[in-house]
Amino acid sequence: MHPDLARLIDLQAYDIEAKRLRDQIAALPRQVAALDTKAKAAVGQRAVVLDLIVKEEALRRRIESDIADLRQKIVRIQKKIDAATTAIQVTSLEHEAVFARAEINRLEDAELESMERAEALEVQRTLADQAVAGATVTLDKESARATQAVARDRVSLAEVDGRRAALRAQIAQSPTGEASLAIYDRIARAKGTAVAQALNQKCTACQMMLRPQRWNDLRDNSPESESSQTLMACENCGHLLYYDPARDAPQRAAVPFESIAAQIVRSL
């Protein structure tokens, strides 16, 4: 293996972990914003119900006032009937009274219907109150959790960034280090990751078979081999290839974040 390659593999594990942390830090406020929208929607729905309750109350006040007016009207009609002098006058006034009583009946039915609607609205108000309370509790809880998680992620990110910078500085010190880093950065920018394991004669990034000669070169660990002298790339996808004979028993256990590195390498 090329002397820079093992460090580039570790660098890639840090880069992937740093990206994961950055994505997570960016995603958490969006999740909280979605819960905030939900809480606001619940408040909006409750406002609609409260508005309907107020309208029903106003309607009933109007109905009751109309009924009171009609009752007074009937009293006045009765007085006129008592004072009437002709049968025609009496008949006409009695018609008026019948009409007023019918109108009172109609208004009383309307008031009853309004009360039934008000009862249903009270049930809706209770549900809307519960929805608002639930959404608020969830928002507060998730918001606090997100704040803590972001703070934790920032600490982790600072640590990973520190280790990345230290590792890059270490790589740069090797005679070929600057060139290796430039190649690594160029491929990582274009493809997201730069390094891929060769396994079972295949590139694990693109799954293409390697030519037998290339596969043999990759596995040749002698100092004169091509893979020890140059960074070999997959001829199909361009990822830098490495062969790790100790994949199942990692030798770089002393490297920090090895568990992450090993995990990522295994998933490639």
Using CB under 5 A as the criterion, which residues of the chain lie in contact with Zn ion when the complex forms? 203, 205-206, 234, 236-237
Nearest approach, Cβ of residue 210 and Zn ion (Å): 8
Q: Is 147 helix (H, G, I), strand (E, B) or coil?
A: helix
How near is the Cβ of 209 to Zn ion at its closest, in Å? 10
Q: Which two tokens stand for residue 187?
A: 């491929």
Among residues 55 and 202, whose Cβ is nearest to Zn ion?
A: 202
By beta-carbon proximity to Zn ion, the closer residue of 131 and 233 is 233
Q: How far is the CB of 202 from Zn ion (least distance, A)?
A: 8
Of the pair 135, 196, the CB lying nearest Zn ion is at 196
**Rounded distance between C-alpha atoms, residue 49 and residue 51, angstroms:** 5
DSSP state of 207: -
Q: CB of residue 205 vs Zn ion: minimum separation in angstroms?
A: 4
By beta-carbon proximity to Zn ion, the closer residue of 80 and 191 is 191
Which CA distances in Å does 73 have to 63, 223, 255? 15, 115, 98
Nearer to Zn ion, 173 or 200 (CB): 200
CA dihedral 215, 219, 221, 225 (to 10 degrees): -10
In the complex, the smallest distance separating the C-beta of residue 233 from Zn ion, rounded to whole angstroms, is: 8
Residue 237 or 260 having the CB closest to Zn ion: 237
| Cβ atoms within 10 Å of 207's Cβ, excluding its own | 9
**Which pairs with CB-CB distance under 8 Å and at least 24 residues apart come from 163-168?**
163/14, 163/256, 163/257, 164/11, 164/14, 164/15, 164/18, 167/7, 167/10, 167/11, 167/14, 168/11
In a 10 Å sphere around its CB, with 0-12 CB exposed, 13-18 middle and 19+ buried, how is residue 79 labelled? exposed
Taken in order 173, 175, 179, 185, is the CA torsion positive or negative?
A: negative
Q: Which is nearer to Zn ion, 134 or 192 (CB)?
A: 192
Closest CB 267 distance from Zn ion, rounded Å = 16
| DSSP assignment string, 48-106 | HHHHHHHHHHHHHHHHHHHHHHHHHHHHHHHHHHHH--SHHHHHHHHHHHHHHHHHHHH
Q: Smallest gap, in angstroms, from Cβ of residue 3 to Zn ion?
A: 22
